[in-house]
Amino acid sequence: MKNYDVIVIGGGPAGMAAALKSSENGCKTVIVERNPFLGGILKQCIHNGFGLHYFGEEFTGPEYAKKFVEMIEKTKNLTIMTNTFVTNIDGTNVDITSQNGVDRLCGKALVLAMGCRERTAGNILLNGTRPAGIYTAGEAQRMVNILGKMPGKEIVILGSGDIGLIMARRLTLQGAKVKAVMEINPTTSGLRRNIVQCLDDYNIPLMLQTSIFEVLGDGRVEGIKYGKVDDRYNRIPSTTKTLKCDTIILSVGLVPETDLVDLPLNRVTKSVMVNDYLETANDGVFACGNFLHVHDLVDNVSLEGAAAGINASEYAKGKLSKGKVYSLTPDGVISYVIPNTVHSGEGEIEIRFRIRARIEKSNYVIEDESGNQIMKKYVMAAMPGEMQTIKLKRDLIKSNLTLKVVKL
């Protein structure tokens, strides 16, 4: 058994930022990572576009991870345990398994930064035979960027999440023919910049309100039957067409790695609920990064991880004092909001949320229980794929709050 002030599970950008801040704040900290290396999913994201907000410089994923690893290696008070799997969480303590056997780490505070995993063909009940040639976008990304292998030659991508869009470009650059990206929703779930830079620049067609009706092929994917869906996702059989391909890549969403936690989950984020200190319903247990909700930019992951690390270390020192607690509820077109509860007091809260449908010329408004607007922010236009952020001063919080969109 080993004792620490703060234990961080997960050595991705969220966990690394949390552990750095915790140790800089004087706490004896450990990062537990199941992979042989730190960096999380960033290791396989070899394109650029990382770090502009956090470091003011543009990096590839591995370069961004290396920046953090270098800072971590110079930090005192910080132990790195790689090749170590957390198998159980008990309050702020964890059980681990590694080549050295099983052990228990006891912490005064715990940070959950386990990231998320991809939804698979089974998760979306993809219809048809079960041939080889169906991959998730992350699997394909790992194959091409780490193993140096191509998943196929004629490719259809189902889902327009950012990883799928980035893989459309990557596979095209490596010589594959990406025949289409099909999205069941009327809007894409990826960032606008990725639609332009990864699809439009390479003339890859984006088919909205379109889905795969059936996978064709015995040993290997030979093609698909696809077609249009209506606003309720019902297939429109008269629109059915056949398309030849040897590979299907799925970019149909990420699910937080919550198997180890025994806490109520939010219906939309599929993860734990937190207060404005990123603390879960279990005292001293904090959450951040993709484990808490799927982020579009790694810079926001690091910022959230850093905040969780500071709060966890303050808790470990017995210094995290909180005011009165109130709820913060999303309304209308807002699909979810983090945090779920907020405290009155001093300082500012970073509120992150997503919308369900495209909006234009509107205000994000926070209302108190009497319907008074205590904060508003103008938004010219926003899409469901883009994470939204607003700030709220704690001294304005005096009752339960609602976050909504008011069209101007």
Ligand X SMILES: Cc1cc2nc3c(=O)[nH]c(=O)nc-3n(C[C@H](O)[C@H](O)[C@H](O)COP(=O)(O)OP(=O)(O)OC[C@H]3O[C@@H](n4cnc5c(N)ncnc54)[C@H](O)[C@@H]3O)c2cc1C
Contact residues for ligand X, defined by CB under 6 A = 9-15, 32-35, 40-42, 45, 85-86, 113-116, 118, 138, 141, 163, 166, 254, 257, 260, 289-291, 295, 297-298, 301
DSSP 176: -
Of 388, 280, 201, the closest CA to residue 9 belongs to 280
- Give the chain's length: 408
> What tokens appear for 277 in the block?
């200190």
Amino acid at 154: E
Sheet holding 359-367, edge to edge: 341-343, 325-330, 401-407, 359-367, 373-382
- Rounded to 10 degrees, the C-alpha dihedral 328/330/335/337 comes to -20
Q: How far is the CB of 251 from ligand X (least distance, A)?
A: 9
> What tokens appear for 199 in the block?
């699809």
Distance CA 350, CA 393 (A): 9
Distance CA 40, CA 119 (A): 18
The CA–CA distances, whole Å, from 171 to 154, 189, 192, 280 equal 10, 20, 19, 40
Nearer to ligand X, 137 or 403 (CB): 137
Amino acid at 25: N
Nearer to ligand X, 295 or 343 (CB): 295
Q: How far is the CB of 373 from ligand X (least distance, A)?
A: 33
Residues 6+ apart with CB under 8 A from 328: 337, 339, 340, 341, 342, 351, 366, 400, 401, 402, 403
Nearer to ligand X, 58 or 73 (CB): 58
Q: How far is the CB of 295 from ligand X (least distance, A)?
A: 5
Nearer to ligand X, 159 or 289 (CB): 289
Cβ atoms of residues 293 and 338 within 8 Å: yes
The CA–CA distances, whole Å, from 353 to 107, 252, 369, 391 equal 30, 20, 20, 11
Q: How far is the CB of 101 from ligand X (least distance, A)?
A: 16
Cβ atoms of residues 401 and 327 within 8 Å: yes
Under DSSP, is residue 46 helix (H, G, I), strand (E, B) or coil?
A: coil
Q: How far is the CB of 129 from ligand X (least distance, A)?
A: 25
Question: Helices 61-73 and 298-316, interaxial angle, to 10°?
Answer: 20
Nearer to ligand X, 152 or 289 (CB): 289
Q: How far is the CB of 26 from ligand X (least distance, A)?
A: 23
Q: How far is the CB of 77 from ligand X (least distance, A)?
A: 20
Q: How far is the CB of 353 from ligand X (least distance, A)?
A: 17
Nearer to ligand X, 35 or 93 (CB): 35
Nearer to ligand X, 165 or 337 (CB): 165
Q: Residue 398: count other Cβ atoms within 10 Å of its Cβ.
A: 14
Nearer to ligand X, 303 or 316 (CB): 303
Nearer to ligand X, 43 or 343 (CB): 43
Q: How far is the CB of 185 from ligand X (least distance, A)?
A: 19
SS percent in the chain: helix, strand, coil, step 5: 25, 40, 40
Of 384, 335, 340, 392, the closest CA to residue 367 belongs to 392
Nearer to ligand X, 42 or 184 (CB): 42
Q: How far is the CB of 45 from ligand X (least distance, A)?
A: 4
